[in-house]
Amino acid sequence: MPKLLILCNESESYRRIIEAENLPDLTWAFAPADDVDIVLGEPSRIKAALDSLPALSWAQSIWAGVEPLLDPASRHNYILTNARGVFGKLMSEYVIGYLLLHERKILKRLEDQKNKRWDDTDTGTLRGKTIGILGIGSIGADVARTAKFFGMTVRGYTWSSENSTDVDEYFHGNNLLEFAKGVDYLVNILPNTKDTRKIINADLLNALPAHALVINVGRGPAVDESALLEALISNRIAGAVLDVYEKEPLPQDHPFWSAPNLHMTFHTAAPSLPEDIAKIFIENYKLLIAGKPLKYQVDFEKGY
């Protein structure tokens, strides 16, 4: 019978939700063992346990990103599925929240209140602004849909697909700089692959208008950090919002901590909530025992 091991901090919450489903034949393990064939958890913790899981046939990541398990030196003789379809609304809240913070000058209004300064000058609006989204998968499509609700023009950059009807104009391949021209808000949601590393580089930043805001909620390596730092210091762009970094946790001596016009969060834009991720596992488990292909399988070569 299938034996499941959960490797994450919220293991009890996951177990409670999964047990309530009364999944047929499922048994439990509480530590890596020779007979464990299914693992649900954080990719970094799964990778650390791989040598103790010789029978592993399926690993369900609770994250969208699975970089630790893509290491060429690691075993790839099992099915790897990631979390998809649950982060879009959370990511949309984050992105739109920071767009409104910037456009409505919320921090300045708070400072005015603190200093008893009456400033009744108008702020901006998202309506009519252009958002450029790097990566229109399920998450990008949700961000595009939310942006359209606020009356924004949406540009999308993808390798080939054009599945979201909320994108007003698609760009592909060598059209990256054309995509960036005139964008008020640049949002990266691309996965970490060899083609996406440092995609936000000096050339792309120079193609943006000086009033543009850059937001990275995809993967840290997508940003050339030196180029972004230079753009912030020189006021080449208006600012940036970063939730992910090339090295995490960010070292305390990293210049981002004191960079001008930079807001930082710490890989918290779209948390993996047990009530969301457990549904993915439950659906996939039912497919597994029915002998059907699992959803959200990761190609170890492509990285997504």
Amino acid at 39: V
Regarding whether 224 and 76 lie in a shared domain, the answer is no
CB crowding 35-52: b at 16 or more within 10 Å, else e:
ebbbbbbbbeebbebbee
List 131's β-bridge partners, or say none.
154, 185
- The residue with greater pLDDT, 79 or 161, is 79
Q: What does the block give as tokens for 63? A: 């994250």
- Give the pLDDT score at 303: 85
Is residue 228 domain-shared with residue 98, that is, in the same domain? yes
- The candidate with the shortest Cα–Cα distance to 179, out of 187, 120, 121, is 187
177 & 41 share domain: no
pTM equals 0.91
296 lies in some domain: no
* Domain count within the chain: 2
Facing residues of 223 across strands? 200
- Distance from C-alpha of 277 to C-alpha of 296, rounded to nearest angstrom: 12
Q: Which residues are catalytic?
A: 219, 267
pLDDT of residue 30: 97
Tokens read off for 47? 């990778």
Q: What is the pLDDT of residue 136?
A: 96
What is the sign of the dihedral through the CA atoms of 202, 204, 207 and 208? negative
Q: Which two tokens stand for residue 290?
A: 């029915």
Segment 219-238, tens digit of pLDDT: 999 999 999 999 999 999 99
Residue 27 pLDDT > 90: yes
Query: Are 67 and 175 part of one and the same domain?
Result: no
- Amino acid 126 reads L
50: domain range?
A: 3-83+272-289
Asked if residue 221 is part of any domain, the answer here is: yes
